[in-house]
Amino acid sequence: MSRASVSKVSKVSGGSGGSDAAEVSEVSEVSKASEKALARSYRSERALTFGAGALVLGASCVALAVGFGWLGTVRARRPVLDPIAVDWLAAHAVPARVAAIVAGLLLCAGGLGWLARSLRPEGRPDLRLDRAVGHELTVAAGALADAVRADAEAVDGVARARARAVGSAERPALRLDVTLRDGADLRRVWPDLDERVLARARESLGLEVLPAAVRLDTGTANRRRGR
C-alpha cells in the first residue's frame, strides 16, 4: 500500500517535471525564434570571410617568415618553386593529381554553395493557420504585414511602422520596424506595441504564440541633434 502510494507520488512528480521542462524548452524556442527574426543572420558569411582572411594572413605570414630566413637561412635562398618539391610531386604524380582534382572539385562545390547562400533572398513566408486537408487556411505575408503595420502606426508615439513576415514556412515570425516620434516615451510605447499590436495579431490569427521582433529607431530628420 505504502509502496504503491510512493510510486504514485514519484510518478506524478516525474510527470509534472517533464511537462515543466517541455514548457520551458517551448518558451526558450519561441524566444529564440523571435531573436532570429530581429535581423537576417550573416553569421556564416562573417565566419567564412573571417576564415578566408585568417587563412590568407597565416599563409602569407609563413611566407614572410621563410623569406626573412627565420625558418632557416638555406631555405630562404632556395627558389619559391623548390626543385625538391617538384621532384617529390613528379615521383608521386598519380596521387598528387587525384588529390588536386578532388580538392579543386570540393573547392568549386563549396564556393558555389557559399555563393548561393550569400545571394539567397530572405524569405517572406505566408502564415498557414490550418493545414488540414480541405480546410487549408493561409494568410498571405503581405496581408499580415499591412494589418500589423496599421495597428502599429495607431500606437501613440509611433511615427511610422513597417511589418513583414520572416523565417521559414514552418516557423514564420513577424518583424516590425518602428520609427518613433520625437519625444516618444519608450516606457509606454514598448509595452503598448506588445499589448495592442502583437497581442491583437496573435488573437486575430488565433495563434498562441507568434514569434515577433521589434526594431525601434528614431526618425532621421534631425539626425545631427540626436548625437
Partner 1 sequence: MRILVRLLSTLLALAAAAAGALLALEVAWQWWRPGSAPLLVPWPAWQAALAGVRWDSTATRLAAALTALGGLLLVLAAAAARHRTVRLREPAPGVSGTLTPRALARLVGTHVRAREDVAAATVTASATRVRVRVTGARDAGAELAPDVTEAVSTVLSGLPLARTPRLSVAVEPSGERR
Binding footprint of partner 1, residue count (CB under 8 A): 84
Q: Does 22 bind partner 1 (CB under 8 A)?
A: no
Site map for partner 1, 157-196, x if CB under 8 A?
-----------------------x-xx--xx--xx-xxx-
In the complex with partner 1, the residue whose CB is nearer, 136 or 217, is: 217
Helix (H, G, I), strand (E, B) or coil at 169: coil
68 touches partner 1 (CB under 8 A): yes
Output the smallest distance, CB 65 to partner 1, in A.
Answer: 9
Minimum CB separation from partner 1 for residue 16, in Å?
A: 20
CB of 75 to partner 1, least distance (A): 7
Contacts of 78 (CB under 8 A, 6+ apart): 84
Identify any residues that bridge with 218 across adjacent strands, giving them in sequence order.
Answer: 180
Nearest 5°: the CA angle 124, 196, 36 is 35
Does the protein bind partner 1 through residue 15 (CB under 8 A)? no
Residue 122 three-state SS: coil
Give strand pairing partners of 217: 179
- State yes or no: residue 135 binds partner 1 (CB under 8 A): no
| Residue 215 near partner 1 by CB under 8 A | yes
Q: Which three cell numbers stand for residue 62?
A: 609563413
CB of 52 to partner 1, least distance (A): 5
Q: What is the DSSP string of 193-217?
A: IIIIIIHHHHHHHT-S---EEEEEE
Least gap, CB of 206 to partner 1 (angstroms): 16
- In sequence order, the 6+-apart residues with CB closer than 8 A to the CB of 163 are 144, 145, 146, 148, 149, 152, 174, 175, 176, 177
CA angle, residues 32, 37, 43, in degrees to nearest 5: 85
Q: Does 84 bind partner 1 (CB under 8 A)?
A: no
- Grid-cell match 570571410, residue found: 49
Say whether residue 143 binds partner 1 (CB under 8 A).
no
Examine residue 89 and tell whether it contacts partner 1 (CB under 8 A).
no
Binder to partner 1 among 112, 140, 143, 150 (CB under 8 A)? 112
Q: Which of 22, 106, 137, 140 binds partner 1 (CB under 8 A)?
A: 106
Give dist(CA 80, CA 121) in Å, integer.
44
Among 9, 57, 150, 169, binds partner 1 (CB under 8 A): 57
